[in-house]
Chains A and B, each alone.
Chain A
Amino acid sequence: MELNKLTIREAMSGLRAKKFSSEELTLACLKAIEERDSEINAFITVDGEGAVKSARGIDKRLAAGEELHDLAGIPVAVKDIFNTMGVRSTCASPILRDFVPPYDATVIELLKQKGMVMIGKTNMDEFACGASTEHSCFGVTRNPHNTERVSGGSSGGSAAALAANMSIYSLGTDTGGSIRQPASFCGVHGLKVTYGRVSRSGVTSLASSWDTIGPFARNTEDIATILQVLAGKDRRDLTTSPKEVPNYADFLSQDIKGMTIGLPKEYFGEGVDTEVSEAIKNKVSQLEKSGLNVKEVTLPYTKYAVSVYYITMPAELSANLERFDAIRYGKKPEDTPHNMIEYYFNARGEGFGDEIKRRIMIGTYALSAGYYDAYYKRAMKVRTRIIEDFKKVFEDVDVLVAPVSPFVAFKVGEMVNDPLAMYMSDALTIPASAAGIPALSVPVASNNEGMPIGMQIIAPQFEEGRCLKLGHALDNLK
């Protein structure tokens, strides 16, 4: 049995039945990292010592007969945008290269209470801005299915770590597709939650009205287990919703018969590779045999979503990243002039990579006098149109089903000098982010080169359960 390939449920049962220890499980993941991470580069920091120490603690408690949570002793890889006390948290940015936070993000605290074993911190696009994990000062993360290709982004390291069996689950963030797209590219499950369902406290903000936090796992059941721990209101993040958190496992056993799914025609049209749309449609016809109703629907404002995103997101980003001034934290510039303004110029000029500079400038421009109405204000209005699209369509269907990405993982270097082409790769994930609604990415097929294709299940706000219900049914089809 290869322990590092287990699901959470399998690992948890094995631990409880004393078939193996958390230490053995952890060492199996660390061995996979040692064997393959020089090639994949999923991790920025591997905390082998810390992980083994936590695992031994769990083993002792299990030996003492303590009843522990399902996630206790299960190795997790965490995106380097989460602050983890005492463990370097870099956001893959030169300005935070050596930053060791003195506190934990809320979700890390929650997982620690359940007996977390954190194997390390994963690579990402700098400040989560990118779709390929090529914009990292720690180098590109390669796709475990084919190392000439990207792992997706921005949570590419978390997706690749799981796909390469270096952890049992992982954590990422999704602002415009940063969990769903790498999950799709690497052939794992990934959930973008409803905006406000999971606390963002202690996770570096990029676009405050879009950012969400969520899990990667090997199946939908595991996703439900993790979500149960992460979801809920947090005093430290007042955008978290007071809405009650349901028992997500309940949705897994529900029959999908009678459920109505919508296929938005804009997600199967121009710009979407035929092999991708065909793979999704094939799966849908299999589901139809289980008694699902399928309806073609339309979301006419879909094509504007990329523009809405790449105006409002950089605008919010430019404001959020103002805090990186290399005073309270962050790398001080090589040359430290005596004038404060010059100090800022140096610190930020040296501290930010290309893509961050580009986005800060787009955002600053869109918010500057004379352009605010034409760009930012208009984009916020078109965002309303996109939300109305979804509201209307959810009157007729329970969930929407679509490809996650218009294409499979592309080659490393293929798009890195063409920002606009890279931005278009988010075209099918951004709309759900604009509306703050949940979406689950489920691997459903591979193309003839063995590259994974992911299906996106999109539901109304706070209806993560519907995504899980259909996702679980899809898992059982295989």
Chain B
Amino acid sequence: MIDEELVKHVAALARIRLADEEISRFSSQLSSVLDYMKILEEVDVEGVEETSQVTGLKNVMEKDEILPSQSTREEMLECSELEKDSNQVRVQKTI
């Protein structure tokens, strides 16, 4: 059961502001989704390895070299709507 307090807690972890209406709606929707997931408890997973990737590639190494880039630093900076300063994006105070 995902009650409204838990929805608020998870939204805070995910840094998403929710309106009151969203909190109550998500609480019931997420509860029904996660209830359904309980079906996984039926499966015997004793001794089964976890799958985190499917093609078996391991430790893929490449030469440490600079590849040509399609865009310049200035073009990258242009993507930000925030103020620029000394070739960087100026953000709000963090501490």
Contacts and interface: CB of A to CB of B under 8 A. Distances in A.
Contact of A349 (B16, B43, B94): B16
A306 B36 CA distance: 10
Contacts of A104: 70
A231 to B, nearest CB: 14
Contacts of A354: 22
B16 A209 contact: no
B77 to A, nearest CB: 9
A330 B79 CA distance: 8
B30 interface: yes
Contact of B54 (A195, A346, A423): A195
B15 A341 contact: yes
Nearest to B41: A378
Contacts of B22: 354, 357
A241 to B, nearest CB: 6
B70 A85 contact: yes
Interface in A310-354: 310-311, 318, 326-332, 336-341, 343-346, 348-350, 352, 354
Contact of B2 (A102, A310, A311, A365): A365
B50 interface: yes
A34 B50 CA distance: 50
Contacts of B26: 357-358, 361
Contacts of B55: 194-196, 239, 241, 436, 461
Given A307-B40, A368-B13, A384-B48, A332 B81 contact: yes
A279 interface: no
A99 B75 CA distance: 12
Contacts of A339: 92-93
A149 interface: no
B93 A338 contact: yes
B18 to A, nearest CB: 7
Interface in A441-478: 461
Interface string B16-55: 1110001000100110111011011111010011111111
Contacts of A385: 43, 45, 48
A307 B39 contact: yes
Interface string A66-101: 000000000000000000010000000000000111
Contacts of A137: none
B14 A310 contact: no
Interface in B60-92: 60, 62, 67, 69-72, 75-76, 78-82, 89, 91-92
A304 interface: yes
Contacts of A103: 69-71
B14 to A, nearest CB: 4
Contacts, number: 177
Nearest to B46: A381
B51 A304 contact: no
Contact of B33 (A196, A338, A362, A381): A362
Overall SS of chain A's interface? helix
A420 B45 contact: no
A235 B37 contact: no
A434 B55 CA distance: 11
Contact of A357 (B16, B37, B72, B78): B16
Contact of B57 (A241, A329, A365): A241
Contacts of B1: none
A193 to B, nearest CB: 12
A271 interface: no
Contact of B92 (A337, A364, A378): A337
A350 B17 CA distance: 8
A50 B52 CA distance: 41
A397 interface: no
A327 B79 contact: no
A379 interface: yes
Given A102-B76, A301-B43, A384-B49, A338 B11 contact: no
Contacts of A361: 7, 10-11, 14, 16, 26, 30
A384 B51 contact: yes
A104 to B, nearest CB: 6
A307 B72 CA distance: 43
A379 B43 CA distance: 10
B14 A318 contact: yes
Contacts of B78: 102
A186 B87 CA distance: 47
Shortest 6 CB-CB contacts between residues of A and residues of B: A349-B17, A436-B54, A102-B71, A380-B50, A103-B70, A381-B45
Given A239-B57, A303-B39, A307-B37, 11 more contacts: A102-B71, A103-B71, A235-B67, A304-B40, A328-B80, A332-B82, A344-B15, A362-B33, A362-B34, A365-B34, A382-B43
10 contacts: A102-B78, A195-B54, A239-B60, A307-B40, A329-B80, A365-B6, A382-B43, A383-B51, A385-B45, A436-B55
